[in-house]
Amino acid sequence: MRFSYFIFSFVTLFTLQFSGQNRKVIDLKEDWKFSKGNIQAASQKGFDDTKWETVNVPHDWAIYGPFDKEIDKQTVAIEQNGEKIPTEKTGRTGALPYIGDGWYRKTFKLSDVNENQKVLLTFDGAMSQPKVYVNGKKVGEWNYGYNYFYFDITDVLEEDNVLAVHLSNQGESSRWYPGAGLYRKVQLIVKNKESINHWGTFITTPLVFEDVAKVNVKTNVTGSDLKLVTTVFDADGNQVVSNQTITLFDNQFEQNIPVSNPKLWSPESPYLYTAVLKLYKDEKLIDEVSTKFGIRTMAYEANKGFSLNGKVRKFKGVCLHHDLGPLGAAINRSALRRQLRILKDMGVDAIRSSHNMPSLEQLELCDEMGFMFLAESFDEWAKAKVKNGYHQFFEADVEKDLVNLIHATRNHPCIVMWSSGNEVPDQFGAEGVKRAKRLQDIFHREDPTRPVTVGMDRVAQTMKSGFGALLDVPGLNYRLHLYEEAFEMFPQGFILGSETASTVSSRGVYKFPVEKASMKQYNDFQCSSYDLEYCSWSNVPDDDFVLQDDKPWVIGEFVWTGFDYLGEPTPYDDKWPSRSSYFGINDLAGLPKDRFYLYRSRWNTEDETLHVLPHWNWEGREGETTPVFVYTSYNSAELFVNGKSMGIQKKNNETPQNRYRLMWMDVNYEPGTLKVVAFDDHGNLSEEKEIHTAGTAYKIVLEPEEQKIKANGEDLAFVRVSVVDKNGIPCPTATNQLEFKVSGKGTYHAACNGDATSLELFHLPTMKLFSGKLVVLVQTTKEAGDIKLKVSGKGLKTGHVTIQSVIP
């Protein structure tokens, strides 16, 4: 299938849990037994695991540390970074103990399964190379740790069952922290043998008008002499339309259902319908699945770009790795929701899963909260980036891995594009072109409604080989100097910034003199938050802004990255200690860096932005030049130091920085008050902000991001912790060691301060402030009631906060 451009209409859905007479979905969450090591006979039913650790799934065994430079020390030249000479690298995969074997065992009863039923065992991901046993019998294995997979275990079941899973993580298997263990959910699905197939429904709309949407429903089933009834409900639970069919085409039902006056899904209005599919045999209900779905149209057109629901727009996107900072790779819905809430405030409308298959929870939340999604699949194809990467499985597994990705996720309204790879070495030569076409053809075969891209970093080579020309969407990772040439060479008529910026910074850290610099290193292994430092292959944000604003054929960008992540500590991957990234717009704790407000000033069109940097505590720099930047949605502002005007600055086109920032480069530091006054386009005072020089740290301040959380044993409260002086002024350079204590209906879970050089363990109830802040994570129990957090530190007034845990 060949597309010079894409225009299509589309309805999507995702499957929810449904438990009833004919189908039961059982989460295998609690009371797993876990042990690390290659343990003989652990797959057998009678094996004694009583001395093993008891854990809940999702679980990441490596996040508990310790950090150790020897774990992932390598002598290597990183080709993606343009390196030619091998050097010692540390912290590349987070310096956490993910390498090695692990065993999980879980007992469960299934006493009511009859001969007409079947049982599926499903995994949303297992890191990695899982081998799965039920009652001592091997039921299957899977290599790719990011993929969803399932096995039919009906024939090996007994009344009392033992599930055992062996995982093996090789060293040098990743370029970032991959996590370890059963880090995504595991479920049992009990249903009739004659039933709707797993991932068996696919819904599109060939036509969407203002007054009606034609909803096409294809449902694969197992069985004969069946009837399918599909009923659509609106967001308030009111029935919209119902349709039934008895006509099977090769085990597939097809229905065309009109939805009148459809409400369209978009980031601004993520409206979701619900479809209930009921399968009957001899007028008896034998299966039922409830789904949510969205109706929308989208188009990719030459010289016009990307349109959603008929309106041209550009992706305001970020890339996200899969780890959740102090939680590691273990999926947690409340942590994912928090990330999306922060990004929504920044004005983000799109996310790229980098560089692997996303969790189903992340997609469900993006459907619900309104984020378009670029779903990526692989970081490697047949040619290696790392010694033990996906290349060793590519030829045998790539098709089944892609089919599972597409079938499991193709019905989410958030997904607007697929990516078959990121910066793969296969970009070179005819062999790589053939591989790109092979993968793109699989996507088109399984889902003809969405285009396919690849994040290309070898753009000059892909222009010569035809690699970039065959893609539905040519994605450029950096290489701004080649955008114009690529646009002229490639036939699609548009370019996507599939990965942009890679600016590096440390929250609350500022370096002097203030200047643009590539791969700059300092003795404290931090990066300056003046947001002018970047990597050898990349650039500062403003350079991308120019292309996004001035070139209509550039259809948007996905910034590297929305949040810091574990591993890949460029530009300090040859220094220790440094074990997490500096790329994030938000740090590893989810606290915004200054760069957050630079993007917010452009992307959040609903709220004004006015942010001043740096902080104003510079003892010893009195009289020295200390530039002041303002990131704002206003076009002009006046700066005052202790009441004295430093003049009015206006955005202009002199340089990319002048176009998007207000900068006073000649300010001399003197303690006191820094004040900025912003003006609207008519010169009227619109908003002002002050920052003050703080005195000695006096009191701990706790700010919960939510006042109520669910008493389900999983929900998390994120509490921001800082210190202030006696006048309540924040102390931006504080590094006090703090202690945490949780009482009531909750437990202490973790803490994080966002310092890429910290070797303090997340799960211990103590941590130093970094740049005056950190975040404490408190987890609910299954009992409702008050959760009390107490934070103390030597010489500081203790902080207290109470959070309510409520019945879900």
Q: Which residues are annotated as catalytic?
A: 423, 499
Q: What is the DSSP letter of 334?
A: H
SS3 readout for 198-265: EEEEEEEEEEECCCEEEEEEEEEEECCCEEEEEEEECCCCCEEEEEEECCEECCEEEEEEEEECCCEE
Question: Could you count the other beta carbons within 10 Å of the beta carbon of residue 709?
Answer: 23
How far apart, in Å, are the Cα atoms of 237 and each of 234, 264, 266, 274, 297? 5, 17, 20, 8, 23
Q: Which residues contact 284 (CB under 8 A, 6 or more apart)?
A: none
CA angle centred on 446, ends 444 and 447, rounded to 5°: 65
Tokens of 639: 């700066």
Q: Supply φ then ψ for residue 464, to 5 degrees.
A: -80, -40
Spatial separation of the C-alpha atoms in residues 472 and 298, rounded to whole Å: 14
- 656-661: list long-range contacts, CB under 8 Å, 24+ apart: 656/540, 656/542, 656/543, 656/545, 656/546, 657/532, 657/540, 657/542, 659/542, 659/545, 659/546, 660/541, 660/542, 660/545, 660/598, 660/601, 660/602, 661/542, 661/598, 661/629, 661/630, 661/631
* Contact between residue 471 and residue 453 where contact means Cβ atoms under 8 Å apart: yes
Give first-to-last CA distance, the chain, whole Å. 47
CB atoms within 10 A of CB 556: 22
In sequence order, what E strands does 660-724 have? 662-664, 673-679, 685-692, 699-704, 708-710, 716-724
Lateral strand order in the sheet of 673-679:
644-650, 636-641, 673-679, 685-692
Looking from the CA of 24 toward its CB, the CA atoms found within 13 Å total 11
Q: Which residues, other chains included, contact 464 with Cβ-Cβ below 8 Å and sequence gap of 6+?
A: none
- Would you give the DSSP letter of residue 268? S
Distance from C-alpha of 11 to C-alpha of 415, rounded to nearest angstrom: 11
Distance from C-alpha of 501 to C-alpha of 558, rounded to nearest angstrom: 9
Write out the DSSP string of 62-122.
Answer: TTT----TTTS-EEE--GGGT--S-EEE-STTTT----EEEEEEEEEE-----TTEEEEEE
CA proximity to 66, closest of 46, 37, 31, 95? 95
